[in-house]
Structure 1
Amino acid sequence: MDATMSAGDIRGVLGLHTRWARVIVTLYVGVLVLVTVQTSRGASSWWPLAAGTIVLALATIGLISFAGDPLPRLPTVLVAAAGPLASACHLVAFPAPFLTPLQAWTHGAGATLFCFLCVRGRPGAAWAGFVGTAATYGFWGFSTDQGFVAGAIYVFPDAGVLLMSTFLSLTLRPNSNSILVLRESAQRRAAAVTASQAAMDERDTRLRHLDRLARPLLERIAHGPELTDAERKSCELLEAHLRDRLRAPALSDPRIDDAARVARSRGVEVMLIDDHGMDDTADTAQQWVRDSVVDTLRRAEVGDVRVRIHPRGRNVMASIFVDDQNGPRRTDFDISGRRTGD
């Protein structure tokens, strides 16, 4: 659900905040423009037609854009006024009587807006907009000697559609919060199942890795004669490797594992610590740090090599500390993975 949407926002139930809603509105605005062009025969001027169509387009976009439930007051007033205003713009440009009944299409477009006003929790404003549109057509009929009723009658059929929308909003809106709560609950359950499955997969992967590495040595210890010096060294290297995987998962990389094992076999003391400051950084930054760790381990002949991934929120993301025959030195990396000190 959108971050700006409250728990009971009807937009979430109807999908008015989705990409598909924006696509449909774009197509609808295109239809408004097409109808304006196709029914423009006999119009005295183009600018009133363009102004009326723009008003309808902006009101339609506003219906899906403004957050809040019910629709906030100012957008409500603007959308309700769009129907009468757009109708007035078109009516002043057309001859009386119309050359074709389709030239009265603006009342239908206004009725569409009013129906969605009902759904957005503003049925009173929707009916006010309907009455305003009927009055606009009626005044046009009166001013062109056709009669008030003859003009207003164009709008009367829209009352049935608006009445159905009013009843729909009265039945749909009270249940919208329950629908959203059920939807969010289902999403949370699905996320929990996915996370649980991922954790189980990770556990199984670690167990297989541990079994592959440790089982031969454990069986050798359990059933064989006393360990040789080489086998004891292998046990020490395995213990250090498993410790690295537990303490520094962000540095659990085949190249680092191999470089650390070789460095330890040369007598280098290697310590890897991960405080998770690299978890959410870019892949390129992580790769630069890992490359530097591998290079440092491969060049180490004696002494200590200590690598630490710092906690989140620090300017320094990682540090490599080396203490050998050349003395102690430290290399830091910022959150972009670039060196900040040597």
Structure 2
Amino acid sequence: MEQAVRRSADHRRWWQSEPREDSSAVVGLQSGFAMIALTVVCTSFLALGLVSGGVERTWLYVAMFGAIGVAVGLLLRAPGTPVVRWATVTAVAAEVVAAVAFVWAIVPVDRAAMMPFAGATAVIGALFCFRGRVGSAWVAFAVVTAVLGGAGQLRADGLHYLVEPQSGNLGILVMMTVFAAIVGPRAEQLFALRRQAGRENTAFAVRAIRDHELARLDDRVRPLLQRIADGDPLDPVECRLVESQLRDRIRAPGLDVPVVADAVWEARERAVRVLLLDDRGDRGALARVDAPAGPLAAVRAAAVEALECAGPGDDVTVRLLPDGRRVFATITVASGGAVALREFGIDGAPVRPPRICP
């Protein structure tokens, strides 16, 4: 399970958010398209404002949306549940800076140029609530309200800058506060149940593997124990085969599947010397699951083929290499004074044709 999480993190794109356990996951804000969607929304707000005819200072209006973009990006991408403090403070500061720029960027009391700012700041308030910072959302709303009221008095001697944007945002923020109060605890319960289910699934898989391994061990060892109990003589060859198979299961868990184990047993009965190695960094019991996928399936199939073709006196070595190498596994067959080497890449495909060394 941990390997799957690491692989998922390795394949995450730049626009995908880190996985977090909060209400933002419930509404899909951690999906890969959340940032793209919000970027399109903010860009649309900017375009609407620029074509409204009420923008007096274009560069300042664009800078205002730049500050809004900083706040939105931080609230989407910053880690933590709730979002970390530094990102929260920076987002609040960016919204306040945007409010100051807004007052002097548009023609006084031009309603068409005000609405894009109102919509963008409503998005910021919603993101605060989604990321578990409801108190910070209200602090930002209060500070922005004070800035719009004071700067509006200086700019146009009135409260028009304050009434138009903040009246609608107040209702949205109230609704988002209620939403966070209801969904936030439910999200915590949801993820707690998911973690519990993951632990139960892992425990079930381990128990299933253990039962399977005990059954396989019973098939090979019980006849020997029964002979010992009955006082019958033991076959030294069979004892060596059982011992070798037990060693294989310890040294090469990634190759410990019935089809490979049976092929190894039959090859050793033909006097083939077999060595199985699993040198990967993170092996463990779950590497023994009998439903392989990816490169392991190809290596196991090739190992069975090599073992079936080996004759008396041949040496067959199958090795799963340490993580991080270009080659995933090698199969070496020494026969008649020559050595054939097969290499498999991380996708399970042969790296090159077999090399034969005299």
Report TM bin, short chain: 0.5 to 0.7
CA contact (8 A) 2:330 2:342 kept: yes
The one-letter code sitting in structure 1 at the alignment partner of 2:176 is S
Q: Residue 138 of structure 2 aligns to a residue in which SS?
A: helix
CA distance in 2, matches of 1:152, 1:180: 40
Identify which range, 123-132 or 23-32, moves more after superposition: 23-32
1:175 aligns with 2:191: no
Give the corresponding residue for 1:309.
Answer: 318
55, 63, 87: which is aligned to 2:99? 87
- The count of residues paired between Structure 1 and Structure 2 equals 290
The answer for unaligned runs of 5 or more in structure 2 is: 10-17, 214-240, 250-254
Residues 160/282 of structure 1: CA separation in 2 closer, same or farther (3 Å cut)? closer
Give the corresponding residue for 2:46.
Answer: 33
Larger radius of gyration: 1
Give the corresponding residue for 1:24.
Answer: 37
117, 124, 127: which is aligned to 1:113? 124
267, 270, 283: which is aligned to 2:272? 270
Residues 305/250 of structure 1: CA separation in 2 closer, same or farther (3 Å cut)? farther
* Shift of residue 113, structure 1, vs aligned partner: 0.7
151, 155, 165: which is aligned to 1:140? 151
1:220-263: CA deviation from partner (whole Å, max 9, x where unpaired): xxxxxxxxxxxxxxxxxxx9xxx9xx98668959xxx7xx99x9
* Shift of residue 180, structure 1, vs aligned partner: 0.6
The one-letter code sitting in structure 2 at the alignment partner of 1:162 is L
Identify which range, 274-283 or 71-80, moves more after superposition: 274-283
CA distance in 2, matches of 1:333, 1:123: 60
CA distance in 1, matches of 2:295, 2:118: 58
Q: Residue 132 of structure 2 aligns to a residue in which SS?
A: coil
Give the corresponding residue for 1:152.
Answer: 162
Give the corresponding residue for 1:13.
Answer: 26
1:56-96: CA deviation from partner (whole Å, max 9, x where unpaired): 12321221111101211121112222333223223212222
CA contact (8 A) 2:46 2:116 kept: no
Q: Residue 178 of structure 2 aligns to a residue in which SS?
A: helix
Give the corresponding residue for 2:232.
Answer: none
The one-letter code sitting in structure 1 at the alignment partner of 2:109 is P
* Shift of residue 287, structure 1, vs aligned partner: 6.0
The one-letter code sitting in structure 2 at the alignment partner of 1:122 is R
CA distance in 2, matches of 1:78, 1:27: 22
The one-letter code sitting in structure 1 at the alignment partner of 2:68 is L
Q: Residue 29 of structure 2 aligns to a residue in which SS?
A: coil
CA contact (8 A) 1:69 1:121 kept: yes
* Shift of residue 120, structure 1, vs aligned partner: 1.9
* Shift of residue 169, structure 1, vs aligned partner: 2.2
Give the corresponding residue for 2:55.
Answer: 43
RMSD of Structure 2 on Structure 1 (CA): 4.8
Residues 118/289 of structure 1: CA separation in 2 closer, same or farther (3 Å cut)? closer
Give the corresponding residue for 2:141.
Answer: 130
CA distance in 2, matches of 1:151, 1:69: 34
* % identical equivalent positions: 20
> 1:1-342 to 2 correspondence within 5 Å?
5=19, 8-39=21-52, 41-98=53-110, 100-147=111-158, 149-154=159-164, 155-186=166-197, 269-276=271-278, 303-310=312-319, 312-313=321-322, 317-322=329-334, 324=336, 326=337, 330=339, 336=345, 342=357
Residues 103/283 of structure 1: CA separation in 2 closer, same or farther (3 Å cut)? closer
The one-letter code sitting in structure 2 at the alignment partner of 1:308 is T
Residues 290/307 of structure 1: CA separation in 2 closer, same or farther (3 Å cut)? farther
CA contact (8 A) 2:314 2:333 kept: yes
The answer for unaligned runs of 5 or more in structure 1 is: 204-238
CA distance in 2, matches of 1:179, 1:20: 23
CA contact (8 A) 1:289 1:318 kept: no
1:194-244: CA deviation from partner (whole Å, max 9, x where unpaired): x69x98xx99xxxxxxxxxxxxxxxxxxxxxxxxxxxxxxxxxxx9xxx9x
